[in-house]
Amino acid sequence: MAEKFIIHPRGPLMGRVEISGAKNAVLPVLAGSLLTGQPCRITNVPNLSDVEFMAELVESLGGFTSWDKSSGVFNVDTSRLSKYDAAYELVGKMRASFLIIGPLLARLGRARVPLPGGCAIGTRPVDLHLKGLAALGAEIEHTHGYIEATAPKLVGAKIYLDFPSVGATENIMMAATHAEGQTIIENAAVEPEIVDLANFLNTAGAEVRGAGTDTIKINGVKEMKGTSHSVIPDRIEAGTFMVAAALTRGDVMLTNIMADHVKPVTAKLKEVNVQVTETEDGIHVKADGEPLIAADIKTLPYPGFPTDMQAQFMALMTQAKGTSVITETVFENRFMQVGELKRMGAVIKIESRSAIIEGVEKLTGAQVNATDLRAGAALVLAALTADDVTEVNGICHIDRGYYRLDDRLNQLGAWIERAKENA
């Protein structure tokens, strides 16, 4: 049954929190395990429902998975991969499942994967993925809502991405690992998750160079092997806890974090008067001093400010002194949290791709709805500072990408109950 959070007012968050492995790194790595055909051991795997979906998908194709959720060790063996077509019910649940098309094509010469539908944050096409696969020699057909790709042989090519799409870069990079000759991806995405995937593929025998720059070169190899890989920490989960600390004027130490990966968030937090210090242990966020001040933000591909942190930062700016303008340039419709924040007393106006936020003294408790993962997280953060009880419905979206956000915030001093939606 659907669940909700009941969030009670409490004071500043205090204490330590350990950041989980990155959702957006582990999903492509699991898709990449389809390429190896040998057992892989993935560690630091976050306990998330999206990882569950990906495991189901790998199993549905003939792979074997075993996951010890308490230790975060995930074993995957795709030696018996037998199917090239993915079920709509599984792919429809999660857009990242489209990442299996490149690996399936490379491994089996064929893939049939449902087109991911539109979702709450925009239409999210896959044209760049498909253009890349076609450039490697795949024949692409759209039939009855499915993409069918066939290529008895993939051949390396030079591919320029019109936009540095994260998913397209990953899909093409994976397909190219088994292509004949060299593939060059230009204007590639440079997100840390791309580097993590390349590291995984390389330890499994692939030859990927340049990941983390806008030009990635992949020399095709005939065979790959099993490997062990530890997933990078989740920079978005880290950013979310950093903003939670800032919003509640708290004092929180975050561990298992890559300071470099959260630099854009750190920079903005400092700009709005929050103290952020790198220590040997991790990152220390302290916001019990000066009042928060407004700042403008524009989301951009990495190393710009992440679109996945836009909603949480908007929650923060509702409590800042002054007016801030947040411009979303990565997705066309990613202000789903605005209506809900307004129900909590925020003053926000949308003008085209920008949201204009007037800081208010206090947010009030209300019943609100999490429409997607990051919008949901933003509502939880906003609720931490509201003067009254807030109910956040639709928290299945939040559970997709945050492991037990409620319990972990509670350990820092929040008061969040998880209850049945109609209870």
Strand 14-18 relative to strand 251-255: parallel, antiparallel, unpaired?
Answer: parallel
DSSP assignment letter at 232: P
DSSP code for 294: -
The CA distance from 214 to 196, in Å, is: 15
Is there binding between residue 304 and ligand UD1 (CB under 6 A)?
no
Which one, 65 or 165, has the nearer CB to ligand UD1? 165
Bridge partners for 255 per DSSP: 18, 282
Give whichever of 170 and 406 is closer to ligand UD1, judged by the CB atom: 170
Helix, strand or coil for residue 115? coil
Q: Residue 293 Cβ, how far from ligand UD1 at the closest point, in Å?
A: 27
Nearer to ligand UD1, 31 or 274 (CB): 31
Give residue for tokens 């997705």. 331
Cα–Cα distance for residue pair 378/339, rounded to 1 Å: 12
- Orientation angle between helical segments 235-247 and 310-317, nearest 10 degrees: 10
Q: Where are the alpha helices (DSSP H) in 146-234?
A: 166-176, 192-203
For residues 309 and 251, give the distance between their C-alpha atoms in angstroms, rounded to a whole number. 20
- How far apart, in whole angstroms, are the C-alpha atoms of residue 295 and residue 174? 39
By the rule CB under 6 A, 400 interacts with ligand UD1: no
Query: In the block, which residue shows the tokens 């801030």?
Result: 324
Q: How far is the CB of 98 from ligand UD1 (least distance, A)?
A: 8
Q: Which residue has the tokens 């605005």?
A: 338
In Å, what is the CA distance from 243 to each residue of 54, 254, 385, 412? Answer: 29, 12, 12, 13
Shortest separation between residue 28's beta carbon and ligand UD1, angstroms: 7
| CB 353, min distance to ligand UD1, A | 11
CA–CA dist 98, 57 (Å, integer): 11
AA identity, residue 330: V
Cβ at position 116, least distance to ligand UD1 in Å: 8
CB of 287 to ligand UD1, least distance (A): 26
Binding mask 136-175 for ligand UD1 (x = CB under 6 A): ---------------------------x-xxxx-------
At which residue do the structure tokens 């926000």 appear?
348
Encoded one letter per residue, x for contact with ligand UD1 by CB under 6 A and - for no contact, window 5-44 reads -------------------x--x-----------------
- Binding to ligand UD1 (CB under 6 A) within 334-363 occurs at none
DSSP code of residue 96: G
Site for ligand UD1 in 178-197 (CB under 6 A): 193
Is 124 a residue that touches ligand UD1 (CB under 6 A)?
yes
Nearer to ligand UD1, 193 or 391 (CB): 193
Tell me the closest approach of the beta carbon of residue 166 to ligand UD1, in angstroms.
4
Is 40 annotated in the active site? no
| Angstrom distance (rounded) from CA 192 to CA 260 | 10
First to last CA, the chain: 10
Whichever of 15 and 304 has its CB closer to ligand UD1, that residue is 304
Indicate the residue whose CB is closest to ligand UD1: 167
DSSP-assigned letter for residue 281:
S
Question: Smaller CB distance to ligand UD1: residue 84 or 331?
Answer: 331
- Pick from 93, 129, 235, 268 the residue near ligand UD1 by CB under 6 A: 129
For ligand UD1 (CB under 6 A), the number of binding residues is 21
- Residue the block writes with tokens 């044209």: 127
Applying CB under 6 A, among 331, 335, 402, 403 the residue interacting with ligand UD1 is 331
Q: One symbol per residue from 84 to 113: x for binding ligand UD1 (CB under 6 A), - otherwise; what is it?
A: -----------xx-----------------
Nearest to residue 369, comparing CAs of 388, 397, 349, 333? 397
- Which residue, 97 or 319, has its beta carbon nearer to ligand UD1? 97
**Interface pick for ligand UD1 out of 11, 117, 122, 304 (rule CB under 6 A):** 122
| CA atoms of 383 and 315, how far apart (whole Å) | 9
Set 87, 119, 120, 389: catalytic member: 119
**Which one, 331 or 403, has the nearer CB to ligand UD1?**
331
Say if CB 392 and CB 368 are below 8 A apart: yes
Residues that bind ligand UD1 (CB under 6 A): 24, 27, 95-96, 122, 124-129, 163, 165-168, 193, 307-308, 330-331
- Residues recognised as catalytic: 119
